[in-house]
Structure 1
Amino acid sequence: MTPLVYVFEEQARDLLSQTGDVRLVDGVAYGFDDWTVFHAYTEKPYFTPSGFICPCVAIRSDAAGFVDEEKLMAEVRRRVDPDGRPIVVLVTGTGAGGSPSCRALILTENGIAGADTRFVPRRSELFTRNTGLLETSALAEKKVVIVGLGSGGSPIALELARAGIGHFTLIDFDRLELGNISRHVCGVNDLGRYKTLAVRDQLLQKNPFAEVSTMEVNVNQSLSQVEDAVAASDLLIVASDNDQSRFNLNQMSLNNNKVALYGRAITRAAGGDVLRVRPWKGPCYNCIFSSGLIDGREEEMSQKRQALAVLPAYVEEDKINTMIQVGLSSDIAPIANMMTKMALVELSRGIETGMSTVDEDLASDFYVWANRREEAYANWPRMGFKWTHPSILRWYGARVDRDPNCLVCGGHLEQEPTT
């Protein structure tokens, strides 16, 4: 087959915009499928790509669009040692209407082969299929802070990137471990990496124009640094695995009048819940999780670090492993999906989009989901064919008011911020 080469349109435009004599530009390419598909870059990629690395050089054609290919290839051979790998050569120029054009040639030991070239489009074209449901030009300016990039936070981040959110701050101090892989958006090639950095690369694969900053810190030990990030955001999403961080983040969201979403799974992901905190307009995290609403809803323990925090010192390894009982990725997915939906509702508020009807339906601030008739849901009746009784695999909104006696928000009723 004819080789296929993908090139970022913005990089071609940048090369064309340079003034003066533009000689060969050293880039990099990544090859796939026996060197039949290439992703070529004229400058450092936004993310860590996959594929087999190979040389790439680029040059701008003259005003008439002419390039002496024989002379060019001779110069490439003198300049680059491919070590048996193909060399991708990009020739950029200006096409009809002033738009950029790019021609790709593949130089191998057997000679020169032509290639089909396709552009990865500019930002404005990347999310065209979202038009009508989400106003992606507005979402591109939205800023989201996500705390916890595990099995819950990582898919939320990825879905928001797919929707066109343009600014992310990712906060987590854990590294990706082997036991995470089955439930995480990242794979074995990211083992040992900070979850923040591995997820950042995944986001940029979906939205290469997003701005992604990361913080490899423990929220509870870096309160001031994290609060600065929350203050600069439009929305706080909390998918961390401990209550101390959630209570701290709850205070930050109230301090800065920022909407926050909290999601968690209970033991072995038998179910879970999602809480939306709209500061001073509804219940805060403390209003809910210091009440009887969570009786019998023990939180899932999915990491060794969590087990060690509650077990005595020098406990046997098998005891630690017994306490770590994780659920399936498919059991986490409904909770992450609900948080994503609520996040998009909040971020598109005030914009005429298809999300307005969803906003009307999500009137509650607290939602409960059951995956199986276990743990807190053990006494629920079978799903059967009825819809009038509690059932697994359905969301239930709970009417929960703000607690006037809440130790966090109840004593500040007279100090409510104005928006």
Structure 2
Amino acid sequence: MSRLLVIVPREGAELLRSAGSHGSATFKVSGPQNAGFLCAISVKEGSISPVRMTPPTHFLNFGDARPVGYWYRVATDLHVAWEYARCRNGALPVSAFAELVPSGFKHPGGGGYIALTYAPDAETGHPGVGIAEFAAWQVTAGGVNPLDVACEPQVVGNVQLAPHWPVEALAAATVTVVGAGSIGGATVHALADYGVGRLLLVDPDRLLWHNLVRHVSGPAQVGKMKAFALRDDLEQLRPGTSIEPYALDVIRDADKVRPLLARSDLVVCTADGVAPRRVISHLARRAGLDAVLACVLEDGGIGEILRLRPWPDRGCLVCQRQALTDAGAIDPEPALDAGYGNGTRHRPMTAVGSDLHLVGQLAAKAAVATLLERAGHPDQRLPGDHGLLALRPQLGWPPPFDLTRVGELRWLDARPPVPGCPTCEEP
């Protein structure tokens, strides 16, 4: 089995850095996971300072307490020995370990204890080598064995990706997502993973058991409004993203959705049905917003990403579909209103969750690429505005839906507005 992992929470590290030379330490350890964390320290004979492991539901908070432990401030040489002993699966004699502990060393006697050592000069003493600031040990009468250690860093989350990813630009962005179902849930998770700072989620439906086979949320969220379930999940997974859930129907509550779009930099629509997609197409155009529409066509055979831009030479959703019809292609829009996904004999749900999630992630990529291209990142340009992804292609579909191999991705240019379109022409 692997060595015991000792976690030092950020709060504990800060206490040790400002403490004296040595003191007692308490650890909580989970036997099944062979991991523990520093949960309290004292400075010499002073008072005990508790250390919290976040979140409160973290499994180590429910571990077994081991109150007999100690911490020592040491020279960097001891941590060099720790690195060497870990690589060689070796141990230090108790006498050698004690010689490298300036003060406060406690002999293990007939038992043993966990020791945590802090070397404040680790970086300056051996610059560029990567000697650890904290080390952990199992001290026994037979020898001192190195343990694994992990210290919580000062910076976690998407900030760690800078400067290789435009963290600040995305953290300042607000995206509205209409539809929090299987595709929408995957889209929301991916947008948060990309680092979008604020997400406004719009969906009038509840998460029920039949949704679980495809939704990103689990059984613990059954009964919640889907938008709220996603908010609660992401609060744990991506606390750096602000989530605002709204139990609104984009058709009946269009007057309440308009103010959300006014606060947004882009809108993504993953809602089922023709009407919600057309409403978002119209509202986004009127708000001067880029919109990304995502769905699956032909019972889940093709994933579609459609980017609508409020430009004079780019048409709305209705114009894009009219162009397909005029070219002799299928008009996929009516099929979206045939009860897809309700499990009826008329239109059974045949798409699997992972395919739907793949479409949702591609929609998130299209949305983020659009935001970043506008912000001046040329490496985020999309090859087109109409993306078609083969999930379960079938022979006989007319162009541009004639994809032949799973995973094939085709991008097409947007079509211009149709003359007289009430959405594209200025009112």
TM range (shorter): 0.5 to 0.7
| Cα displacement (A) at 1:199 | 1.9
Unpaired segments ≥5 residues, structure 2 = 17-27, 40-50, 66-72, 74-115, 123-132, 137-146
Paired AA for residue 369 in structure 1: L
Corresponding residue of 1:407: 422
C-alpha contact 2:191 2:364 (8 A) present in aligned 1: yes
Q: What TM-score results when the alignment is normalised by the length of structure 2?
A: 0.63
* Identical positions, percent: 22
| Cα displacement (A) at 1:217 | 2.1
CA distance in 2, matches of 1:234, 1:40: 43
Aligned pairs, number: 349
Corresponding residue of 1:331: 355
The equivalent position to 1:394 in structure 2, one of 409, 419, 424, is 409
SS at the partner of 2:212? helix
C-alpha contact 1:380 1:390 (8 A) present in aligned 2: no
CA distance in 1, matches of 2:174, 2:379: 23
Paired AA for residue 241 in structure 2: A
Please provide the CA RMSD for this pair.
4.9
Corresponding residue of 1:34: 32
SS at the partner of 1:183? coil
CA distance in 2, matches of 1:39, 1:209: 24
The equivalent position to 1:209 in structure 2, one of 224, 240, 247, is 240
Q: Highest Rg: 1 or 2? A: 2
The equivalent position to 1:285 in structure 2, one of 302, 317, 326, is 317
Q: What TM-score results when the alignment is normalised by the length of structure 1?
A: 0.64
CA distance in 1, matches of 2:262, 2:8: 37
CA distance in 1, matches of 2:284, 2:224: 29
Corresponding residue of 1:295: 331
C-alpha contact 1:4 1:38 (8 A) present in aligned 2: yes
Alignment of 1:208-227 (within 5 A): 208-227=239-258
Deviation string 1:370-389 (CA, Å, 9 cap, x unpaired) is 33344xx63469x9xxxxx8
C-alpha contact 1:127 1:163 (8 A) present in aligned 2: no
CA distance in 2, matches of 1:49, 1:253: 41
The equivalent position to 2:225 in structure 1, one of 190, 194, 197, is 194
Corresponding residue of 2:181: 150
SS at the partner of 1:149? coil
Alignment of 1:257-272 (within 5 A): 257-272=288-303
Relative to 1, partners in 2 of residues 1:38 and 1:191: Cα closer, same or farther, differing over 3 Å? farther
Corresponding residue of 2:367: 343
Paired AA for residue 226 in structure 1: V
| Cα displacement (A) at 1:191 | 2.7
Relative to 1, partners in 2 of residues 1:410 and 1:170: Cα closer, same or farther, differing over 3 Å? same
Unpaired segments ≥5 residues, structure 1 = 17-28, 58-63, 65-90, 105-114, 308-319, 384-388, 413-419
Paired AA for residue 368 in structure 1: L
CA distance in 1, matches of 2:38, 2:175: 30
C-alpha contact 1:236 1:260 (8 A) present in aligned 2: yes
CA distance in 2, matches of 1:52, 1:176: 30
| Cα displacement (A) at 1:251 | 2.6
Deviation string 1:86-107 (CA, Å, 9 cap, x unpaired) is xxxxx9x9x789xxx9999xxx
| Cα displacement (A) at 1:406 | 0.8
C-alpha contact 1:240 1:246 (8 A) present in aligned 2: yes
Alignment of 1:113-152 (within 5 A): 118-122=150-154, 126-129=158-161, 131-132=163-164, 134-152=165-183
